[in-house]
Amino acid sequence: MRTMATWTTSATLALRADATTRVADIDARAKPGFHGRKSDGKQLLGERGEVLAALQEKLYAGGRSGDHRSILLVLQGMDTAGKGGMVRHVIGMVDPQGVSHTAFGVPTDEEKRHPFLWRIEKALPAAGQIGVFDRSHYEDVLVVRVHDLVPQEVWEQRYDEINEFEKRVVESGTTIVKVAMFVSLDEQKARLAERLEREDKYWKYNPADVTERSYWPKYQEAYQAVLDRTDTELAPWYVVPCDRKWFAHLAVTELLIDALEKFDLSWPPPDFDVEVEKKRLAQA
Ligand code: ADP
């Protein structure tokens, strides 16, 4: 049975950041554009996952046959926003052969010796791939700005550098889907508390995450600057409320489907004579 849940406004429209987006006002429990409950949402995710997987297979097949296009999903969010779960539940629905996943942590000594985009450029998806960035070049204007890890003159320039870099990436055939994931402070506390209650979650707990909570106003300011200065027509930001994990998963599934549909993909034609091959096979 198909679900009654629906998008009353498409995810791309409902979640798109614009000049009026105020990070401080984001309701992380909201489900913009979507009408339906958790159980509906979960069922719909399964259905839409099949659509996503079919499109991704076409993208991958094209990539193997000379189509240079690819997708880059940028997941940027505070600790506990659910980046890992997004990868498991959404990217987990497609063929892993067509996925390249990179998590960006504190830069290594080698990475520190290069410009901040060096490690990013190296991780861009190849033709036919969906690249996933768990954190990204945006850390260089988020954690770096909040903690003064480089002088302001340096991070100030990075917004323009990022825009120029992303323009180049898009023009080379990669659609960038930038997802800013927002979790409320209350929900973050609950998720951190759960990590302290369960043996299977201790590995996710990092005492530094508690310290970061006190920097929330500074992070809000830094996220606001990201949305104000790096939301472009070529590489737009989508704001995804993440207190309801099922909604966040459904939303990003839709954003990926939309990006793939815009490619207007077709199956690669055979580079052999099908009839001849059928005969050869029958006789083999
Ligand atoms: P996660 O917290 O996502 O599970 P890690 O434990 O590896 O993963 O944490 C990644 C850490 O690396 C985060 O605290 C993040 O702020 C930090 N980080 C990522 N990129 C940078 C950067 N460019 N400069 C400084 N710190 C960074």
pLDDT tens per residue, range 105-118 = 999 999 999 999 99
**pLDDT per position as a tens digit, 53-91:** 999 999 999 999 999 999 999 999 999 999 999 999 999
How far is the C-alpha of 43 from the C-alpha of 1, rounded, in Å? Answer: 10
Q: Tell me which residue has its CA closest to atom 24 in ligand 1.
A: 106
How far apart, in whole angstroms, are the C-alpha atoms of residue 262 and residue 122?
Answer: 26
Residue identifier of the C-alpha nearest atom 2 of ligand 1: 79
| Nearest atom (ligand 1) to Cα of 105 | 12
Based on C-alpha coordinates, what's the Rg of the chain?
20
pLDDT at 1: 57
- Please give the distance, rounded to the nearest whole angstrom, from the Cα atom of residue 50 to the centre of ligand 1: 32
DSSP H helical ranges for the chain: 11-15, 38-64, 83-89, 109-112, 118-122, 143-146, 152-171, 185-197, 207-213, 216-230, 245-262, 274-283
Cα–Cα separations (whole angstroms), residue 67 to 41, 61, 63, 73, 266:
34, 9, 5, 19, 10
Ligand 1 pocket check for 117: Cβ under 6 Å: no
The answer on pLDDT for 15 being more than 80 is: yes
Query: Exposed e or buried b for every residue in 244-256, given b needs 16+ CB within 10 A?
Result: bbbbbbbbbbbbb
Q: What is the pLDDT of residue 5?
A: 82
Residue 108 · residue 132 · CB < 8 Å: no
Quote the pTM value.
0.97
* C-beta 79 within 6 A of ligand 1: yes
135 lines ligand 1 (CB under 6 A): yes
Return the best residue to mutate from 113, 139, 142, 223 for the ligand 1 pocket (most ligand atoms within 8 A of CB): 139
Q: Which CATH class is domain 6-283?
A: alpha beta
Instruction: Please name the residue whose Cα sits nearest to atom 19 of ligand 1.
Output: 105
